Copies of this chain bind each other. A is one copy, B any other.
Amino acid sequence: MLRGLVQGTRTTLAATPFLTRPLTSSAALLARSKMSQPTSTTPVKDAHPFERSQLESLLIRRFFYAPAFEIYGGVKGLYDYGPPGSSLQANIIDTWRKHFIIEEEMLELDTTIMTLSDVLKTSGHVDKFTDWMVKDSKTNEVYRADHLIEGVLEARLKGDKEARGVKELQEEEDATAKKKKKKVKSVAVKLDDKVVEEYEQILAKIDNYTGAELGQLIREHKIVAPETGNEVTQPVEFNLMFDSNIGPTGQLKGYLRPETAQGHFVNFNRLLDFNNGRVPFASAQIGRSFRNEISPRSGLLRVREFTMAEIEHFVDPLDKAHERFESVKDIKLRLLPKDVQAEGRTDISEMTIGEAVKTGMVDNSTLGYFIARIYLFLTKIGINPARLRFRQHMANEMAHYAADCWDAEIETSYGWIECVGCADRSAYDLTVHSVKTQNKLVVRQALKEPRIVERNVPAIDKKAFGPLFKKDAKAIEEAINALSEEELVKAMQQLKEQQQATVKVNGQEFQVPANVLTITPTQIKEMVREFVPNVIEPSFGIGRILYSLLEHSFWARADDVNRGVLSLPPAVAPIKCLIVPLSSNSEFKPLVAQVSQKLRSLGIASRVDDSNASIGKRYARNDELGTPFGVTLDFASVKNNTMTLRERDTTLQLIGSIDEVIQVVSELCNGSLSWTDAQSRLQPYSGSQDA
């Protein structure tokens, strides 16, 4: 039945198809070559080289995030977002919701995290959503097999380079090694040229090995646990889903969803109905998903619990053109197509999405439309477009059912990170759920002109059929009427050759004799076209985008490497405006309350800092939080009703009446005014407070 409906395609999932799977390794082949190393990890504004440790120390100290259950010692791969991190995340999500759900009139969903095991069995996750794991044979310390091999071989290659006196690469290698949970120590031992080549080939293909092959590599290359030197066990599969039991009986198994997508697919009929039966339409969902990683690393980039935003755009497979493609066709993108990668190169093609679709590099204009919209979203929230590329999946990375897939990759100090996947999932998911549940998940489209098709039509002799099968008759008849074309052909053959056909009902087989069942090829006039829509899926990892944005936004003032600044755009900055009274003197309180109230009524998130620190220090503290604007209330404010306005990146200050300044801040925050234009609206102010 399964093979029938999907018409001969492989019905098992490839090992790496999940768009949203762990993915440092998906770009491993490229990230490892010298060319794909970060071209620049320092923002333009910055006089100091980027230091990840400085950023991380700021982020933890100012509670953007912190290890979850820190006072209990923490748990790897679980992080809590504090006030600035939560606000930043909420603002990114809010921008996303407006950019996609509202502007594109998508149908929002909010489905459960706890997922019935049957659903994930059908989708393939129960069987195939796994990584290979090995254990230290004595201590039972656990390693992800591919990561262990990677770490050991990279350390050996590094040792070889040291032995050969190659120095220029060392720093780069150090950066790579930081990614690893356990930094494998390198020893300066020269390797044979042939061995070096072999190791490099293994590393380039590290994602593509089966468990047996990984085991073979471990034995062949004498890879042992790095800390203890003990042998490791044979690789075993470990399913990355958290499991639990639903209800008290222990008989209803559930998993925490590894993606939100299945929640869309199982609700397809209700969504289609809500959209008056018409495609194309898109559903969207923002929510938590879970991966029980074997050994999480890379901070916020590989975690066990994370927020995703996923879109499932349902489209007629015969017409994948997007009606608003014209509006984005001239957007220029940095593309890394699969054929370039196949040649081992990583050079970027800069071209418009219009060209990319026209030349067939991008499969269809709906996929192209979303790629362009993803670009617009990411750059709107502050991702540096020069450090953003769209990389096409190569044939061996892609799920067998996918027509085309492009990842938005963002360059960080960890290398190029997949932050958004944009795949054409074809009709795979709806088909497998339909087959499993016997619920049709199809679009019915009235044909303008009826068409004649040939179908094999079963007919039963009811008079004889009922008495023959008694209580089972109804179920058998239903099963016959539900047979696929392929099954009908098989049944016809059985009837011809054996004078009876086998019909399965709930696993039980019944022999239906030819005298009660006939199957006849018949010409049928169809008024309605019935089809399973294809799905284009843009899938966003919010935490990865958030972390990449923090890296792109971080720099330090030229005069002091310890004065960190996060240049977040006002749209996503946790707090838009800081209110700084000269002191906590009660004289300023009424004005502070008034300004605070006015900003609030304009929907501008603001904070008062009336601590005893100097004004400069208070501004510096809020530069660390990414607060783009600050207003100062001093004695002149009390006397003349004026207020100064300070911009975070330039530290320039302007002055005007309190109401004028508030109006300017409001326009700056909603994006209708630029800082340059603000300078013509208010007077320059020279009394520097950034000392």
- Give A residues with C-beta under 8 Å from B: 62-63, 66, 68-72, 75-76, 78-83, 85-87, 89-90, 97, 102-103, 105, 107-116, 118-119, 133, 140, 142, 238, 242-249, 252, 254, 256, 263, 266-267, 269-271, 273-274, 276, 283, 288, 290, 292-295, 304-305, 433, 436-437, 439, 441, 600, 605, 607, 611
Q: Which residues from B are CB-within-8-Å of A249?
A: 140, 142
Report how far A90 CA is from B283 CA in the complex, Å: 15
- Verify A81–B110 contact, CB threshold 8 A: yes
- In the complex, are the beta carbons of B80 and A263 less than 8 A apart? yes
From residue A59, how far is it (CB to closest CB) to chain B in Å?
Answer: 12
Q: Are B247 and A244 in contact (CB under 8 A)?
A: no
B274 & A69 in contact (Cβ 8 Å cutoff): no
A87–B114 contact, CB under 8 A? no
Q: Which B residues are in CB contact (< 8 Å) with A111?
A: 68, 80-81
For the complex, give the distance between the alpha carbons of A276 and B612 in Å: 11
Chain B nearest CB, measured from A23 CB (Å): 19
Q: Which of B70, B109, B118, B248 contacts A80 (CB 8 A)?
A: B109
In chain B, what residue has the closest Cβ to A288? Answer: B113
Tell me which of B83, B118, B292, B436 contacts A246 (CB under 8 A): B292
Which listed residue (B107, B113, B283) contacts A305, Cβ 8 A? B113
CB of B86 within 8 A of CB of A108, answer yes
In the bound assembly, the distance between CA atoms of A78 and B113 in angstroms comes to 9
Q: Is the CB of B267 within 8 A of A244?
A: no
Q: In the assembled complex, how far is the CB of residue A181 from the closest CB belonging to chain B, in whole angstroms?
A: 12
Closest 6 CB pairs of A and B: A81-B110, A80-B111, A86-B108, A83-B107, A86-B110, A242-B244
CA distance A140 to B251 in the complex (A): 12
| Contact of A75 with B266 in the complex, beta carbons under 8 Å | no
Q: Known contacts being A110-B80, A248-B292, A266-B70, is A274 close to B600, with CB within 8 Å? A: no
With a cutoff of 8 Å between Cβ atoms, the chain B residues found around residue A108 in the complex are 83, 86-87, 90
Identify the closest chain B residue to A269 (Cβ): B71
Task: Give which listed residue, B69, B89, B107, contacts A82 with CB less than 8 A.
Answer: B107
On whether the beta carbons of A248 and B102 are closer than 8 Å, the reply is no
Query: In the assembled complex, which residues on chain B have CB atoms less than 8 Å from the CB atom of A607?
Result: 105
Instruction: With a 10 A CB-CB cut-off, give which of A78, A89, A276 has the most chain B CB atoms.
Output: A78
Q: Is the CB of A109 within 8 A of B82?
A: yes
- Can you list 29 A-B contacts with CB-CB less than 8 angstroms, sorted by A residue number? A66-B270, A68-B111, A68-B116, A69-B116, A70-B266, A70-B267, A70-B270, A71-B269, A71-B441, A72-B116, A72-B437, A76-B247, A80-B110, A80-B267, A82-B109, A82-B271, A102-B600, A102-B605, A114-B304, A114-B305, A133-B248, A244-B292, A245-B292, A246-B292, A247-B294, A248-B292, A248-B294, A276-B611, A288-B288
Give the docked Cα–Cα distance between A283 and B81 (Å): 12
Pairwise interchain contact A78-B114, C-beta atoms closer than 8 A: yes
Decide: A114 and B247 in contact? CB cutoff 8 A: no
Alpha-carbon gap, A267 to B82, bound state (A): 8
Q: Which residues of B contact A110 (CB under 8 A)?
A: 80-81, 85-86, 89
The CA-CA distance from A167 to B108 in the complex, in Å, is: 47
Q: How far is the CA of A332 from the CA of B648 in the complex (A)?
A: 45
CA distance A137 to B545 in the complex (A): 54
Residue on B with the closest CB to A103? B600
CA of A44 to CA of B110, assembled, Å: 32
Alpha-carbon distance between A70 and B288 when the two chains are bound, in angstroms: 21
For A102, the chain B residues whose CB sits under 8 A away are: 600, 605
Interfacial chain B residues near A433, Cβ < 8 Å = 71
CB nearest to A440 among chain B residues: B71
B113 to A113, Cβ gap below 8 A?
A: yes
With A78-B114, A274-B83, A611-B276 known as contacts, the answer to whether A266 contacts B69 (CB < 8 A) is yes
Chain B residue numbers with a CB within 8 Å of A283 are 83
A440 CA to B99 CA, complexed, in Å: 45
In the complex, the answer to whether B69 meets A81 with C-beta atoms within 8 Å is no
Given the known inter-chain contacts A75-B252, A267-B80, please indicate yes or no for A112 contacting B63, CB distance below 8 A.
no
By the criterion CB–CB under 8 Å, are B116 and A304 in contact?
no
Q: Which residues of B contact A119 (CB under 8 A)?
A: 69, 72
Inside 8 A of A97's CB, which chain B residues have their CB?
90
Interfacial chain B residues near A294, Cβ < 8 Å: 247-248
Q: Which residues of B contact A80 (CB under 8 A)?
A: 109-112, 263, 267
Closest residue of B by beta carbon distance from A613:
B276
Minimum CB distance partner of A76 in chain B: B247
A242 in contact with B114 given A82-B270, A249-B140, A252-B75 (CB within 8 Å): yes
Question: How many angstroms from the CA of A215 to the CA of B263 in the assembled complex?
Answer: 41
Starting from the known contacts A66-B267, A66-B270, 12 additional A-B residue pairs (CB-CB under 8 Å) come to A68-B112, A69-B119, A70-B267, A72-B119, A80-B267, A82-B270, A114-B242, A142-B247, A142-B249, A243-B244, A247-B292, A247-B295
